[in-house]
Amino acid sequence: MISALGSLPFGATSHLTAGRAQMGTSLSFHLFFAVLGVGLPPMMLAAEGMHLRTGDPVWRALARRWSKVFAILFAVGAASGTIISFELGLLWPRFMAFAGGIIGLPFSLEGAAFFIEAIFVGIYLYGWDRLSPRTHWLSGIPIAIASAASAFFIVTANAWMNVPRGFKIVHGHVTHVNVLAAMFNPAWATETAHMVLGAYLATTFGVAAVYAVGMLRGRRDSYHRKAITVALAAAAILAPMQLAVGDLLGRTVAQHQPATLAAIEGVTHTESGAGLNLGGIELPGHATTFLNIKIPNLLSVLAYDKPNAPVRGLDTFPKADRTPLAWATRLAFIGMVGIGTGLIALGLWYWLRRRRNGPGPEDRFTLLALAGAGPAAFLANELGWLVTEFGRQPWVVYGVFRTSSAITTAPGLSATFTGFTLLYIVLSALTVWAVRRVSTGTPQLLATPTLRVA
Amino acid sequence: MSLPALIAIVLGLSLTVYAIFAGADFGAGILDLSARESPEQRIALAHTIGPLWEANHVWLIFSITITFSAFPTAFAALGVVMLAPLTLAVMAIVVRGVAFGLRAEPGGQARSQTLLSAAFGGASVVAPLLFGASAGALAQVSSSRRVSATPLSVPWTGLFASLVGLLAVALCAQLAASFMTWRLSRTGQSESAERFRRRGLQTGTVVLALGLLALLAGAWKAPALWHRLSTAALPLLVIWLLAMLASLYAFARRRYLLARASTMLVAGAIVWGWLIAQAPHLVGTRLTIHAAAATHAALTAFAIAGGVVLLAVLPAFYLLYVLFGRPTPEIAQ
């Protein structure tokens, strides 16, 4: 039935494109929920912890409200993560047959972290009235640790795809497997740190945005002020850290993925003392780039610590080994860095204008900027992931295994892609509906601690 | 015992726990579907699985992870030959999980709530149906002793597979009924327990009938599988039949703890009957546990990691079940 569907109305899409599109849709959908799954638990813990310390019921109301939103997001995130674990085998069986025995360790550990997270999510969400306030707060700590650990383990697997280590290929067979060397490949530290910080940063700005919109609609109460303060306090610490980690990750890419670096930085021809391109979008079929400002020698310094170090251009790589999506890689990279810079500037603006122990700036401009910063921060995460995936093409495992060799031989991917796309549209609409239902307005529960989750 | 065999047994245990506990969660969805006229039954079902189902679901992820880490080529083969049923099954899992997670008032009569209930219940039927049919078809093509030269194709819509799929649906419902009666009877809600007791008797009878039918269909359509079931897996078959009869007796006599234990044993016997019938083959007759295994170094690492995982996870599970196994304040009132 599926194969018959595949040949009828969707026949125009190629098999590989359909598979990649389905995986990309699934991952970008899941990434949104994964980011919030990592970022929200520390925010809930911070708010609930402030309630324990100060006794102020506003903090408890915030924590409970966030936990109700978290319950919905966790359900959708667990579901979309399950899709991905299936898709690894359903779409990329040959990749999994090759890589499963090398990179299974972080996936197994992620399974463990997900177990711990799911168990304590049950305890935390359903335990508000069953546990003492202090025990309840403590039961949230494993959630925060396990969700960050999940992100860590999964991203070490992605780092391995970028910088594969810990195995040899002899006569077409994988031998000499060292699962620890595979997991702790040269990119593990910078990539995982970049992802986890990105998740925290997006959540903090996402929370600030929600309450900035509330204030723009006239709800200027302490509930909204407190939420924005917590969020931007965290952002002020995280944003500069993310800048530094991003720089380190750039060096990792420069060292181990020269073709990817060239695509990311828009270096078409080899340059010694390469300048850093700000802007500069390469259009397919055009020799020159648009809207570029070049800062002399800066790229060589950033990538190799030497002002005159040569940076290989994209044209020095065989055509079959260059990403066909260089323009998209570059665009995504510019978007990510641009948004990151903007978020740092906004954090500085907020804290410089905040009076000592007084409220932060609440003018229309600041609130509008905060409202826009939330979605932008999530977009930056999605773009960063696109940089990794587009930039690595045509490889699924850089320099070792091509994406075109990984796709399934089973027919019908156009149909499954269409099916999943429709499913994601429905899930998105349902999630927005459900989150709006539990999170509109200032809660009335400040006096009535009987509301239950889900 | 060899390392691949040990890991295969761990995989079997993980699938068993998934079948029993997530099976009961699916069953709660199926019973929810049949409780349209009874909001209080829906609320009782939702309260019972609410804190637990996410954690139970992770056993599926854990099983998938074991398969692709320890038996990568078998995982790849499974993905190719089972694209359609597994794609539909994962969609059903997603729909039921999200519908349950978003349904705020299990007993609510608002349009949004009844739609979510329908999605939750409907998908709770589809997922075990497809998993059961896939397992049945896999057993059918993997139980022969002879290595087949033809490319593998899995008859998941065949007669035997369809009967196993229906068996899985009925079994899930019986598991849920046994969990509910035991739980409700302990909290003094004998009236509600009585309703689920009837469901337990009904679904248990269906499980018995479908099980016997599936055996007949196996003898007729899948001689290789029938041969294995009547030799190597015969003890499991006997255990299944005895546990089956014990569960019906226990439901009839209101021995709810016995009903719960024997229904769990029914599920375990079916899973292990399947696994032993096709052992040592994983997918088809070529990929045995040893032929599909990853390198020894990798398997050692996974075995150690798996042990650490279980050491960390099992106490947490115990805590979860102890905490929410007690009567809830809302229900007790």
Q: What does the pLDDT average to over A335-358?
A: 86
According to DSSP, residue B326 is labeled S
**A101 neighbourhood in chain B, CB within 8 Å:** 69-70, 72, 294-295, 298
B141-173 b/e (C-beta count within 10 Å ≥ 16 → b): bbbbeeeeeeebebbbebbbbbbbbbbbbbbbb
Residue A339 identity (one-letter amino acid): I
pLDDT of residue B262: 96
Q: How confident is the model at residue A10 (pLDDT cuts 50, 70, 90)?
A: very low
Q: What does the pLDDT average to over A250-268?
A: 88
Which tokens sit at A127? Answer: 């335990």
Chain A residue with Cα closest to B69: A104
Chain B residue with Cα closest to A168: B295
The answer to whether the CB atoms of A126 and B324 lie below 8 A apart is yes
Of residues A429 and A13, more confidently modeled: A429
For residue A454, pLDDT beyond 60: no
Chain A residue with Cα closest to B317: A119
Check if A122 contacts B (Cβ < 8 Å): yes
Q: How confident is the model at residue A13 (pLDDT cuts 50, 70, 90)?
A: low
- Which domain range does residue B245 map to? 3-332
Q: Which of A313-317, A445-449, B92-96 has the highest mean pLDDT?
A: B92-96
Tally Cβ neighbours within 10 Å of residue A400.
13
**B94 neighbourhood in chain A, CB within 8 Å:** 79-80, 82-83, 423, 427
Q: Is the previous residue joined to A449 through a cis bond, with omega within 30 degrees of 0?
A: no
Of residues A383 and B297, more confidently modeled: A383
Torsion of CA B261, B264, B268, B270, to 10 degrees: 120
Chain B residue with Cα closest to A409: B80
Rounded distance between C-alpha atoms, residue A123 and residue A425, angstroms: 31
Check if B42 contacts A (Cβ < 8 Å): no
Give the CATH number for residue B133. 1.20.1630.10
Give which of B132, B112, B77, B50 is closest to B282, Cα–Cα: B77
**A79 neighbourhood in chain B, CB within 8 Å:** 93-94, 97-98
pLDDT of residue A285: 63
For residue A252, pLDDT beyond 50: yes
Which among A1, A79, A431 has the least Cβ separation from residue B97?
A: A79
> What is the tally of structural domains in chain A?
1
Check if B77 contacts A (Cβ < 8 Å): yes
The answer to whether the CB atoms of B94 and A85 lie below 8 A apart is no
Which among A122, A174, A433 has the least Cβ separation from residue B320?
A: A122
pLDDT of residue A443: 54
> What is the tally of structural domains in chain B?
1
Q: Which of A108-112, A327-331, B11-15, B297-301 has the highest mean pLDDT?
A: B11-15
**B86 neighbourhood in chain A, CB within 8 Å:** 86, 89-90
- CA dihedral sign, ordered A180, A186, A191, A194: positive
Phi and psi dihedrals of A307, rounded to 5? -65, -25
pLDDT of residue B301: 86
Chain A residue with Cα closest to B54: A118
Q: What is the pLDDT of residues B7-17, one digit of tens each?
A: 999 999 999 99
The verdict on residue A330 lying in a domain is: yes
The answer to whether the CB atoms of B66 and A108 lie below 8 A apart is yes
Which among B98, B112, B305 has the least Cβ separation from residue A105?
A: B305
The verdict on residue A256 lying in a domain is: yes
Residues of chain B with pLDDT under 70: 149, 326-333
For residue A146, pLDDT beyond 60: yes
Of A179-188, A298-307, B112-121, the one with minimum mean pLDDT is: A298-307
Which among A76, A112, A419 has the least Cβ separation from residue B313?
A: A112
- Which domain range does residue A369 map to? 203-410
Rounded distance between C-alpha atoms, residue A169 and residue A121, angstroms: 42
Question: What radius of gyration do chain B's Cα atoms show?
Answer: 20
Q: How confident is the model at residue A423 (pLDDT cuts 50, 70, 90)?
A: very high
CA distances from B162 to B85, B135, B158, B173, B210 (A): 12, 10, 6, 17, 10
Chain B residue with Cα closest to A77: B98
The answer to whether the CB atoms of B62 and A111 lie below 8 A apart is yes
Tally Cβ neighbours within 10 Å of residue A304.
16
Which tokens sit at B115? Answer: 């739609």
* CB B134 within 8 Å of CB B82: yes
CA distances from B172 to A158, A188, A234, A278 (A): 37, 42, 46, 59
Check if A145 contacts B (Cβ < 8 Å): no
Check if A423 contacts B (Cβ < 8 Å): yes
**B81 neighbourhood in chain A, CB within 8 Å:** 410
> pTM of the full predicted structure?
0.88
Q: What does the pLDDT average to over A135-157?
A: 94
The answer to whether the CB atoms of B70 and A174 lie below 8 A apart is no
Chain B residue with Cα closest to A410: B80
Which among B55, B68, B94 has the least Cβ separation from residue A119?
A: B55
In a mutagenesis test of the A interface, which of B14, B71, B88, B94 is the best target, namely the one with the most A β-carbons within 10 Å?
B94
Of A118-122, A258-262, A282-286, B159-163, the one with minimum mean pLDDT is: A282-286
Give which of A368, A81, A384, A60 is closest to A212, Cα–Cα: A368
pLDDT of residue A2: 41
The verdict on residue A80 lying in a domain is: no
Give which of B33, B118, B99 is closest to A75, Cα–Cα: B99
Rounded distance between C-alpha atoms, residue A100 and residue A82, angstroms: 17
Check if B290 contacts A (Cβ < 8 Å): no
Residue B50 identity (one-letter amino acid): G
The answer to whether the CB atoms of A437 and B330 lie below 8 A apart is no
The helix/strand/coil state of B108 is coil
Q: What does the pLDDT average to over A188-211?
A: 93
pLDDT of residue A280: 67
pLDDT of residue A445: 46
Residue A167 identity (one-letter amino acid): F
- The minimum CA-CA distance between A344 and chain B, rounded to whole Å, is 35
Check if B238 contacts A (Cβ < 8 Å): no
